[in-house]
Amino acid sequence: MLAIRLTAEPERLDTLILPVRPGRTDGAPAEAVPTAVAPPDGIAEEVAALIPVARFSGRAGEVHTQLRPGGGPGRLLLLGIGAADEAAWRASGAALARAGKDETHVTVALPDGVAPEAVRGLAEGLLLGSYRFRLGADTDAPALTDVDLAVSDPEAYEQAVEVARTTARMTRLARDLTNMPSSVKNPQWFAEQVTEAAADLPGLTLRVREPEQLAAEGFGGILAVGGGSASGPRLVELDWHPADARTHVVLVGKGITFDTGGISIKPVPAMKLMRKDMAGAAAVVAATLGVAALGLPVRVTTLAPLAENMVSGAAFRPGDVVRHYGGLTSETTNSDAEGRLVLADALAYAVQELKPDLLVDLATLTGANAVALGTRTGALYSDNDQLAEDLLAAIGSAGESAWRMPLPTDYVEHLGSDLADLHSAPTQGGGSVLAALYLREFTGDLADRWLHIDMSAPSWCERDDAELTRGATGWGVRGLLRWLAALD
């Protein structure tokens, strides 16, 4: 991860980045922004002359490189900052990370009086836009390792940069977990990664239930989904409980480390990226580790039900009835609707044993999410207006996207079963909506304090886009951390 340093006296100006904003009125030319640390003599005049010649607009993320052989600095980069809010600076930081990938060190001269939120956005963009995942040698890996941020008062921005570092580090962890091929990643491996990461953070407690404990305690959904694999299921329970916490939040994340669809097997094109089917578990685990790293005064318990949905003689069958934690039963006519089965166990356990104030789950649950909202937006469901409003605001300010969807009462009748308490995968109506309604049945007296996000689509990105890089996005980590930090 890039080393970012705040400084009032930059020592290396071989590559200097100067911010440029759009013209203040329609049709007006872009203009350089006065910086807290003055650039070398003559540079301001050179930039003013360069902007119109380069047709530089100043939009967020726009970069122009000017070579200056024999000069100091030797390279001058104009960086568009658009509206200069946190989101614009985040996009600009990501663009800078890519434009400067052949450099080893750059210095960014920040505007005089820049807001801490802007500095946080810039740092997050730099750290997330420079992310790469590769198991083998990477001859094209970025050379950039050090970024100096030139400001008048470094101490004023230390907290903003530290929060950005932690947020980016945890988002990158979620990306790493999700990107890992399932030839390596199984439930045991995932649990081991959580154990290793939690060991570095005092104050966290961890319990990992293995198949024997799951059977003894009645986690029938997790056992059914994981029963067809040679790699047994797990339930990770991670708890951060500071003494001054007044609110207890339980986070639940779907952790299917690979999904073949089971007996209801997927076609090959739909199966190729199913290593990402544990992105919800990765997000809630990483967010909880971030809460601990930042020392936030909120209790967070994370549940990550982990299973590999495989085809074998031991796999559960379409038409089987599964008994979940707490006793509710599900008729499972489609083994490719497995994520809701493991989530149901975890939600029921949270309600009955943990009794939190708020209950939130994230899951790569349905393809219908993308059909309804496209590839960048999660589908958010809740009967609690305030909870939905607060999380939507946090997700948006963190640079992610979600849209609130309805929980229509006339769909509930489709959950009826002749054999069991519930039908887990009815075919009538909207798939993402029905999945949410099914999960709500396991929230008991927390139904009015529960929120579900179907984040299948935004968990993956097919191309570099601002702070997102091709592959896993780590969606949910940033939004959850922003929301948890704001809780009383």
Q: What is the pLDDT of residues 207-224, one digit of tens each?
A: 999 999 999 999 999 999
**% of the chain with per-residue pLDDT over 70:** 100
Position 187 scores a pLDDT of 98
What digits encode the pLDDT tens for the residues 257-267?
999 999 999 99
pLDDT higher than threshold 80 for residue 373: yes
- 248-253 vs 358-363, strand pairing mode: parallel
Is the per-residue pLDDT at 470 higher than 90?
A: yes
Q: 266 catalytic, yes or no? A: yes
Task: Taking residues 197-201, report their average pLDDT.
Answer: 95
Q: Specify burial of residue 399 (Cβ count, 10 A radius: 0-12, 13-18, 19+).
A: buried
What integer pLDDT is reported at residue 141 of this predicted model? 81
Alpha helix stretches (DSSP H) within 180-239: 187-199, 211-217, 220-226
User: pLDDT > 90: what percent of the chain?
Assistant: 91
pLDDT range class, residue 24, cuts 50, 70, 90: confident
Which of 12, 266, 404, 470 is catalytic? The answer is 266
Instruction: Tell me the pLDDT band of 25, cut-offs 50, 70 and 90.
Output: confident
The residue type at 191: A
pLDDT value of position 28:
85
pLDDT tens digit sequence for 46-93? 999 999 999 999 999 999 999 998 888 999 999 999 999 999 999 999
pTM: 0.96
Helix or strand or coil: residue 433? Answer: helix
pLDDT in tens, 121-161: 999 999 999 999 998 878 778 889 999 999 999 999 999 99
Q: Quick one: how far is CA 60 from the chain centroid?
A: 22
> Residue 39: pLDDT band by 50, 70, 90 thresholds?
very high
**Type of residue numbered 287:** A
Task: Report pLDDT for 143.
Answer: 87
| pLDDT tier for residue 27 given thresholds of 50, 70 and 90 | confident
CA dihedral 53, 57, 58, 63 (to 10 degrees): -60
Q: What DSSP designation does 353 have?
A: I
State which amino acid sits at residue 158: E
In the prediction, which pLDDT does 68 show?
92
DSSP string, 103-142: -SEEEEEPBTT--HHHHHHHHHHHHHHT----SS--TT--
Q: Which of 90, 172, 185, 340 is catalytic?
A: 340
Asked about 340 being catalytic, the answer comes back as: yes
pLDDT at residue number 390:
98
pLDDT at 176 > cutoff 90: yes
With residue 441 as reference, give the H or E element that holds it: none
Q: How confident is the model at residue 365 (pLDDT cuts 50, 70, 90)?
A: very high
pLDDT averaged over every residue in the chain? 96
Residue with tokens 């990664």: 193
pLDDT for 246 equals 95
Residue 428 has pLDDT above 90, yes or no: no
pLDDT at 137: 76
One-letter amino acid at 271 equals M
